[in-house]
Amino acid sequence: MSELWQLSATEIAMRIANGEISAVEVAEAHNARIEALEPEINAFITPTPDIARAQAKAIDERRATGAPLPPLAGVPLALKDVICVDGVRTTAGSRILDAYVPPYSGTVVHMLADAGTLLVGKANMDEFAMGSSTENSAYGVTKNPWDLARVPGGSSGGSAAAVAAGMAPIGIGTDTGGSIRQPASLCGVVGMKPTYGRVSRYGLIAFASSLDQIGPFARNVRDTALLLNAIAGHDPKDSTSIPDPVPQYLDGLDAGIDGLRIGIVKESLSEGTQPGVAGRFKDAIETLTSLGGEVEEVSLPSFAHALSAYYLIAPAECSSNLARYDGVRYGMRADAPTVSEMNARTRAQGFGDEVKRRVMLGTYALSAGYYDAYYGKAQKVRTLVIRDFDEAYQKFDILVSPTSPTTAFKIGEKADDPLAMYLNDLFTIPSNLAGAPAISIPCGLAEDGLPVGLQIMGPLLSESLLLRAAFAYESARGPAERPPL
């Protein structure tokens, strides 16, 4: 039998339900895997082996009674450390929340517990989800399991690395401008950003509230669909939550893509795309065509301006959301003789450089005399992005592009060049501005031996269609390559 940490979520749940293995065995196998690899990879800020053991014991006791088990019973899960868990330290990757222990859990945490998952740890991330490399974490850089000298992507790099390295078969991340899909691409796993509002954000520590969305990581498309079903749904605690019923994402997963109209985003075929990435993307297009997809190029002119609009809108919202970290209500407090000095010192000591950079950008963009010139104009560009997508979906069912212009870059390579770092999100940001779903799936290795991701985008609430297209491609191509660990 395969090592338990090598099994997919679907296989683990099935074998536990059949009595072939116990949930406690699965928990211990993954705890041991984390203990062995964590000193090198640093995928977790707070491992939670005891929580996983307790949840596993409860699953085994339930199975012993003959009661039916939930769909993800006994499946280990890595949870990005930006989602609150009652009684478990939740830092958002920041020193300012180093000692914060929430008195409540986010809605997705309750849903995942109900689905039977085992929480093996709170995963490392860029501070307050601001970054594309997980180098901005106050708790050290997460290493890419494919090459420990390279980044795993970000901001959900810890979750992506944990899934890729076999520390957990599934993970949860958040995606504000590509923070699930880009690390999924760089680590060679599947990552999906659902439609904005499809998954509750209650209990998520906010970065940019009109863009943030929680979503799944897995090593294959079926597990991704299974995990999405566990977390999707309406939540009255989240005013932006979509009330529409959630479909069964596994239904029709294998229906194929014969006759599906597929648009290749012309703007993603730029000179800045690494040759190996472009090559694997071309191969993926040939596979989609061989499966019966009707493939044609499409131009989305606003794609070129989405990055600039995003880096005004997101910092503006982060400036407002992070104003609460003032040393008064919660989080760290620096000593100072006056309240105003205490506020300033707390924020200066508690926030890292990237967070400070974005707070200053956002505060400037929202300031008197500049609001219309910057933030207001960026929102107009956002409207153009939405219109471009709407127009494209009149002709096409789905759109495709590379997920990231490059494979994983070396740690420190772009740390001193914010613009170069921001360009990593060039192809992922438009879907966030539009609030639409998108998925990244592995599509081979580039010339440097590192994973490449194929991004599939669709209109609002088209998750079932995206999963079906991704599954068809995955089935035709075969299982994705695994890192040499």
**How does pLDDT run across 25-35, given as a tens digit for each residue?**
999 999 999 99
- Tell me whether residue 80 is one of the annotated catalytic residues: yes
Task: Exactly one of 8, 22, 137, 179 is catalytic; name it.
Answer: 179
Whether 159 and 80 have beta carbons less than 8 Å apart is answered as yes
The answer on pLDDT for 323 being more than 70 is yes
| Of 8, 105, 137, 155, catalytic | 155
The alpha-helical segments, DSSP class H, found in 241-302 are 275-290
Cβ atoms 6, 169 nearer than 8 A: no
Both structure tokens of 75: 């499946």
290 is catalytic: no
Q: Which of 111, 62, 115 is nearest to 85 (CA)?
A: 111
316 token code pair: 């503006």
- Alpha carbon distance 433, 164 (integer Å): 28
Q: Domain limits at 395? A: 1-485
Which of 69, 88, 76, 77 lies closest to 27 in space, CA to CA? 76
Using 50, 70 and 90 to split pLDDT, how confident is the model at 289?
Answer: very high
Residue with tokens 């107009």: 380
- Counting the structural domains of the chain, the total is 1
Q: Retrieve residue 125's tokens.
A: 């991330």
Q: Sorting pLDDT into bands at 50, 70 and 90, what band is 267? A: very high
Distance CA(109)–CA(128), nearest Å, equals: 19
Strand order in the sheet with 118-123: 44-47, 118-123, 76-80, 170-174, 214-218, 190-193, 438-445, 451-457, 398-402, 261-265, 294-298
CB 165 within 8 A of CB 485: yes
Residue 374's SS3 state is: helix
Does residue 2 carry a catalytic annotation? no
464 preceded by a cis bond (ω within 30 of 0): no
What proportion of the chain, given as a percentage, has pLDDT over 90?
94
Catalytic residue, candidates 8, 22, 80, 132: 80
In the prediction, which pLDDT does 343 show?
95
Structure token digits, residue 400: 């495709």
| CATH code for position 344 | 3.90.1300.10
Query: Closest by alpha carbon to 90, among 208, 347, 79?
Result: 79
Looking at residues 227-256, what average pLDDT do you find? 98
Q: Convert the pLDDT of each residue in 349-372 to its tens digit.
A: 999 999 999 999 999 999 988 888
